[in-house]
Amino acid sequence: MGLRPNLLTRRAAGVASTTLALLLSTAAVGVVPAASAFSAAPSEVCAEPADVHSDARIKKGGIAKHEPNELTAKQVREREADLAAALRERASFRAGAQAAAPLASVTIPVVVHVIQRDSTRAGGNIPDSMITSQISVLNQAYSGATGGAATAFGFQLTKINRVTNPAWYPIVQGSSAERSMKTSLREGGKNTLNVYLGELSDDLLGWATFPQRKLNSMDGVVVLSESLPGGTAANYNQGDTGTHEVGHWLNLYHTFQGGCSGSGDSVSDTPAEASPAFQCPTGRDTCATAGLDPITNFMDYTYDSCMYQFTAGQASRMLTAWNAYRAA
């Protein structure tokens, strides 16, 4: 819609960067913590949030039965307090010369699980070329090549695992089948991105888990296979559902989290937004605070053709969370 005319050219050229020399500190520059985030005394143990709440992306007009699309204010406070506690733990560990210095550049190994009903394209059997194109899209988005801020992250595909199992197809968010699937298939440690592709339930384009201090078998990202570059999901087939869900996996909230009040998405350089934006509503402004709605941000709900950027504050928040939760 005229917002990023060179993006398709860049993607077609296969621009990618798997290791970025980005000098970002672990200080949460540009991050606005929730009011309770640093309220615990340094010696106090902060309990990890009890659930592995997932955040989703939903199609225009879609109504998900489980609505995993936004956290409550209480869940946000718990997550922000847990992040603060995890950072204190890491700092204490490093003070004892037990751990390596915080990372400023990260290459994330990616294991992709293709969940199929059968061997047909309609049954989930997408070609490898769509998966490699998705990795390229991630690398462009997270390197800043599409026009946003550069982040510390690059992505390297290490494995494609194809599984034909009608009991797991379609993938149903929050179901026992989803848990069985992930428990059976997940590979690697907290630093390994597991992506599950297939047909999804309830009009969802994808969902993801937030990072936790202890690895949970549910950890990972679920994405509608036809949302990958070249897929059949009209308006959502340039790979940015993957970009969006990986953002959650790296601890970003939606840009519309919390609406116009409170700490919002806990990032200071994303203007407040009252509700999700769909399609590409240029000039939309739903909050009285400064700035138009961030409809071009990867963490909104607009068409893939409309979104192209992370902000510097989001880049900093992701790296801070990586060093707190996922770094070795």
Distance, in Å, from the CA atom of 305 to the CA atom of 293, rounded to the nearest integer, reads 16
Peptide bond into 294 cis (omega under 30): no
Starting at the earlier edge strand, list the strands of the sheet with 221-224.
54-58, 204-209, 221-224, 193-198, 106-116, 153-164
Percent of the chain that is helix, strand, coil (3-state, to 5): 25, 15, 60
Residues 6 or more apart whose Cβ sits within 8 Å of residue 6? none
Q: Cα dist. 62→178, 205, 217 in Å? A: 21, 10, 28
**Residue 58: what are its φ and ψ, rounded to 5°?**
-120, 140
Distance, in Å, from the CA atom of 320 to the CA atom of 31, rounded to the nearest integer, reads 10
With CA atoms as reference, report the closest residue to 68 among 58, 59, 83, 76: 58
245 is known as an active-site residue: yes
Characterize the bridge pairing of strands 106-116 and 193-198: parallel
Distance, in Å, from the CA atom of 186 to the CA atom of 212, rounded to the nearest integer, reads 16
**Residue 314: what are its φ and ψ, rounded to 5°?**
-65, -40
Per annotation, catalytic residue among 80, 178, 245, 273: 245
Long-range contacts of 293-296 (CB under 8 A, 24+ apart): 293/255, 294/255, 294/270, 296/3, 296/4
With CA atoms as reference, report the closest residue to 133 among 22, 280, 297, 243: 243
Question: Which amino acid is residue 45, in one-letter code?
Answer: V
| Residues recognised as catalytic | 245
